[in-house]
Amino acid sequence: MSVKEFGQLAKSVEADAALRELLSPVNRWLNVLSVRNHSEHTLAAYFAGVNQLALYLRGKRLTWTRCDKRQLAQHISQRLDEDKLALASVQQELSAIRHFYSWLIEEGIARINPTTGYQLKRSPRPLPSIADVDLLTQLLEQEIPATPEQARLWLRDKAMFELLYSSGLRVGELVALDITDVDLADLRVRVTGKGNKTRLVPIGTKASDAISRYLPHRNLWVEGQDTALFISEKLGTRLSTRAVQQRLKVAAKRAGIAQNLYPHLLRHCFASHMLSGSGDLRAVQEMLGHSDISTTQIYTHVDIAKLTQVYDRAHPRASHAQSDSE
């Protein structure tokens, strides 16, 4: 081995050792979060964000305690300009770094959080897509398929779609439901949302009726002691989120709907239609399981946008093309 090759190998080993040292407290932090019942998805996202900063610090031969706001700004700039990450992805990484430094301070490892006061300029949040009531009626009230096999599947699918729209569930919350989570007598469902927080949400009578019609088939399909509410007919086990997405597209096509339908759209529709009918932002926030009411407020903008369209079409003085002679 040449002197040059030996030097390169030594640098590589040194770099790996430096990275292992940087990641040691990260792993301890993630273990703490795991004990606190954070989801695997959250832990993976946190690690990905903090690991990128660790790689940057290793390259600069810095430690966590020597990372200041200037170093953080350089790292974030690199992620945006060189790595071409979307602003939302960098925001997620910054959030992970902020939480990690808070833990370092709690543990007495660091004294300063470089993310304090550091903010990225947020891009305007896009308004969610909304389908009108007539289109949802077209989906949910379509004729039952002619073949027995497809008819059985439609009974299950309709129960899923009715529940998504009736109670504003996320698709992950829907497939996580156990049969004991649904109380058809009191018309409510117990939902486990983000951060393992549970909430009780009302169920509409149409959703309740659809679930009641589906349950006899579910009880025939289920394998072993699977507790899932929604079961794959083929496998007899809990349905996946991907399967729900695919079944919704099949149902939309069969109903002659050209608009792209996906499970989260039904949640958007629930929120928008509930706000339009009630105006009760706090109640809708509770039913959606939003920790921050600002997340729910986006649906008030959707409603205003719709009102503006109606106004522009209907009001005789709304047009910007009025002539001066008028």
Which residue among 194, 206, 217, 254 is the active-site one? Answer: 194
Question: Buried b vs exposed e over 262-287: b needs ≥16 C-beta within 10 Å?
Answer: ebebbbbbbbbbbbbeeeeeeebbeb
Does residue 264 have an active-site annotation?
yes
Cα→Cα distances 95→90, 232, 294, Å: 9, 37, 17
**Reduced to 3 states, what is the DSSP secondary structure of residue 25?**
helix
For this structure, is 41 an active site residue? no
Please tell me which residue in 170, 218, 247, 268 is annotated as part of the active site.
170
Mark residue 187 as left, alpha or beta (left: phi above 0; alpha: psi -120 to 50; beta: remaining).
Answer: left
Please pick, among 98, 190, 290, 306, the residue that the annotation labels catalytic: 290
Catalytic residue chosen out of the listed positions 69, 206, 264, 306: 264
Asked if 154 and 213 touch (Cβ cutoff 8 Å), the reply is: no
Q: Which of 156, 267, 268, 273 is catalytic?
A: 267
Does 306 participate in catalysis according to the annotation? Answer: no
Q: What number of other Cβ atoms are within 10 A of residue 159's Cβ?
A: 24
Q: How many CA atoms lie within 13 A of 303 on its CB side?
A: 17
- Catalytic annotation on 58? no
Instruction: Specify the pairing of strand 188-192 against strand 182-183.
Output: antiparallel
- Active site positions, annotated: 170, 194, 264, 267, 290, 299
